[in-house]
Amino acid sequence: METTHTRRWETVLAFVIIYLVWGSTFLAIRVGVRDLPPFLFAGMRFFLAGLFLFGWMRTKGTASPTRREWAGITLLAGMIFVLDYGLLFWAERRVPSGIAAVMMATIPVFTALAEILILRTQRLTLRLAAALVVGIGGVAVLVSRSAGLGEGAIDTSGAIALVVAAMSWSLASVLSRKLPLPQSKVMSSGTQMLAGGILLTLASAMLGEFKGFHPAGVPSGAWFALGYLIVFGSIIAFTAYVWLIHHESPTKVGTYAYVNPVVAVLLGHFVGGEGLEVRTVLGTVLVLVSVIVITTTPKKNAELKPVGGEAAAEP
């Protein structure tokens, strides 16, 4: 029988995993894309992770998705994995991992806008409007060309890619309420990863990433980054996340959205040698304040259904 002491340590361990592991995935992506084509790298990660989760659930007796569910899964996979993750992996060749994490933390900002304009599940109150302005201001600080903010602005194409990625994720979050998906969160996540991995690989081929690519010439560090993302980022951390949402309140579990960008910025600086100047600190603070206010603002109706499982939580 599970004791209170054992349960407490399991809870602490699960939070440590989703905080640190998911926060570190941005640096792992940065390491991998130095030597691996970004869309192919993302495709390998999610195909293998999705295949594992899909197979695991099938062995437990969970039914495969229906034809209608596969259609919804494929649509979301294109938006989440090709547009969101594909662009994130691509952008991390141009943008420091910590700043990429902060830019992706703006997803609640765009989701709130979608809820106000499309779903009508959120009212534009003064509190929410202020939070949206602060969040957009944080992004403006990160991409600003002002010399008074320390180091140079981030790469323009990378910044645009990250904004499009965050907007795509937000739109997918809205659409997820309208699409038929498997009831099992793990099965839904695994199949979206699996479909996303296939679509990313096809996108990689269309973009010509296979030309001149020789696996034997890829350094071991890139393969280690891939293995880390699959095993720790997509399987172990996702398992911890699923366990937590069944044992803790959504508000507590949702704190990963505030902690992960901070972990990513600190790891990027102390481990990855990335700059930590006024621009990065100010932009991070503004975005996180905006995210905290938005995610703690009550909605008119039920909260959005999580999309993509692991995808809803980390890169």
Q: What angle do CA 149, 150, 156 make, to 5 degrees?
A: 75
- Express each pLDDT in 224-261 by its tens digit: 999 999 999 999 998 898 888 888 877 788 888 889 99
Asked if pLDDT for residue 149 goes beyond 50, the answer is yes
Asked whether the predicted pLDDT for residue 304 surpasses 70, the reply is: no
Digit-coded pLDDT (tens) for 103-141:
999 888 888 888 888 777 778 889 999 999 999 999 888
Domain boundaries, the chain: 12-312
Reduced to 3 states (helix: H, G, I; strand: E, B; else coil), residue 307 is coil
pLDDT confidence tier of residue 310, bands split at 50, 70 and 90: very low
Per-residue pLDDT at 90? 97
Q: Is residue 29 within 8 Å of residue 225, measured between CB atoms?
A: yes
Predicted pLDDT at 181: 92
Q: Which of 35-44, 134-143, 294-303, 304-313 has the highest mean pLDDT?
A: 35-44
Cα separation of 65 and 193, whole Å?
A: 13
Short-list 23, 105, 161, 100, CA closest to 290? 105
Rounded to whole angstroms, how far apart are CA atoms 303 and 269?
35
pTM reported for the whole predicted model: 0.89
- Name which of 147-151, 242-246, 287-291 the model is least confident about: 147-151
